[in-house]
Amino acid sequence: MRIVPRYDSIFIVLYALLIPAVVVLVFFMTHRAVVLFFLPLLLVIYLLLTLRKPWRRRRALRIPFPGAWREFLLARSAYFRGLDQDGRVRFERDLRLFLAEVRISGIGGLPTSWQTRLLIGAGAAAMLHGRPEWEPPLADGVTVYPGYSFDRNYRVQSGNIAGQAPAGGPLLIAEESLRQGFANARDGTNVLVHELAHFFDLEARKSGLKLRSGPEGAVAWAGIIAREYREHDHGTSILPAYAAQNEAEFFAVASEMFFEAPGPLHAAHPGLFGVLGEFYQQDPRIPLNGDFG
């Protein structure tokens, strides 16, 4: 993540130049000098509004990374533990920016523990580690449910839903399932990675992301994942059976294994691993092999 995202910086500069141009145009049309006196005020108001995010992020980075947070990550995040020193510094930076930007709360806006917030941020930081220009696609934040699951009517401690990624709302996640996903870093399952992958998938489709995943050159992400799903042998796949549901679940389940068991995934499905590696712009075998030896 960046203090000022690339596209934000483009629009900040563009509109900062557009405001004086409009004011000058109005002046020439009306011949009223008073119009020019509004220019500094308009620019100040505009900059105060648009620079709130960068200022908020800069404030977050000025606060030293808590030692308790680092110890918690070393104990609970195999990905963080396997990074070199430079990688850990960048991971901690992304984590602080994520927590400063993304609203994380319990049902009804109740506060959540710093450990829960840290696990959510750690999962996002790992997935963003190879894509510093990307932003977490969580405009509506994250809502944490108590226990291991909730049902389709969002009743807690009921049903079998551990997480959900609704297109028009926050990411929903059951707190105990979140913790369980980080408890065993090699089982190939992590509900946070799964649900966050859905949001990345939707964002990639909306933005028209293209990857160079074949001799045909750049191909739209929607077409790439559709081809991978269609050509994947689900009968002999090492992916859990749920991956056969549809393209979206296929990508989310594969992303779980990519970040939790990249070695087995690469050995069994090197083509799929390559597509995920290009999508996330990283190879998790490097930090995870460093951790597991």
**Residue 50 has what pLDDT?**
77
pLDDT digits (tens, 9 = 90+) for 168-181: 889 999 999 999 99
**Residue 214 has what pLDDT?**
66
Q: Are the beta carbons of 199 and 165 closer than 8 angstroms?
A: yes
Mean pLDDT of 81-101: 95
**Residue 83 has what pLDDT?**
96
Query: Which of 235, 247, 240 has the alpha carbon at shortest distance from 264?
Result: 240
Q: Is the pLDDT score of 101 beyond 60? A: yes
The verdict on 90 and 29 lying in the same domain is no
Mean pLDDT of 234-261: 96
Mean pLDDT of 148-152: 94
pLDDT digits (tens, 9 = 90+) for 18-33: 778 887 787 788 878 7
Mean pLDDT of 36-48: 76
The verdict on 53 and 75 lying in the same domain is no
The verdict on 28 and 163 lying in the same domain is no
**Residue 142 has what pLDDT?**
98
The verdict on 287 and 155 lying in the same domain is yes
The verdict on 54 and 166 lying in the same domain is no
Mean pLDDT of 110-124: 97
Whether 40 is in a domain gets the answer yes
CATH number at 137 reads 3.40.390
Whether 73 is in a domain gets the answer yes
Q: Considering 47, 62, 77, which residue would you say is the last residue of a domain?
A: 62
Q: Which residues pair with 220 in a beta bridge?
A: 210
Strand 104-106 to 142-145 pairing: parallel
φ and ψ of 211, to 5 deg: -125, 155
**Residue 5 has what pLDDT?**
67
Confidence of residue 185 (pLDDT cuts 50, 70, 90): confident
**Residue 96 has what pLDDT?**
95
Confidence of residue 251 (pLDDT cuts 50, 70, 90): very high
Crossing angle of helices 221-231 and 191-207, in 10° steps, is 130
Give the highest mean pLDDT range of 5-9, 35-39, 285-289: 285-289
The verdict on 40 and 77 lying in the same domain is no
Query: Which of 90, 95, 3 has the alpha carbon at shortest distance from 52?
Result: 3
The verdict on 43 and 90 lying in the same domain is no
Q: Considering 43, 62, 81, which residue would you say is the last residue of a domain?
A: 62
Mean pLDDT of 217-242: 94
Cβ within 8 Å of residue 78, ≥6 positions away:
185, 186, 287, 288, 291, 292
Structural domain that includes position 43: 6-62
**Residue 13 burial (10 A CB sphere; 0-12, 13-18, 19+):** exposed
Confidence of residue 55 (pLDDT cuts 50, 70, 90): confident
Whether 273 is in a domain gets the answer yes
The verdict on 281 and 243 lying in the same domain is yes
Whether 1 is in a domain gets the answer no
Mean pLDDT of 110-122: 97
Residue 171 token pair: 């990411």
Q: How many domains does the chain have?
A: 2
The verdict on 194 and 208 lying in the same domain is yes
The verdict on 119 and 139 lying in the same domain is yes
**Residue 22 has what pLDDT?**
80
Cα dihedral sign, 89-174-190-5: negative
The verdict on 16 and 100 lying in the same domain is no
User: Which of the pair, 24 or 247, is modelled with greater confidence?
Assistant: 247
The verdict on 53 and 129 lying in the same domain is no
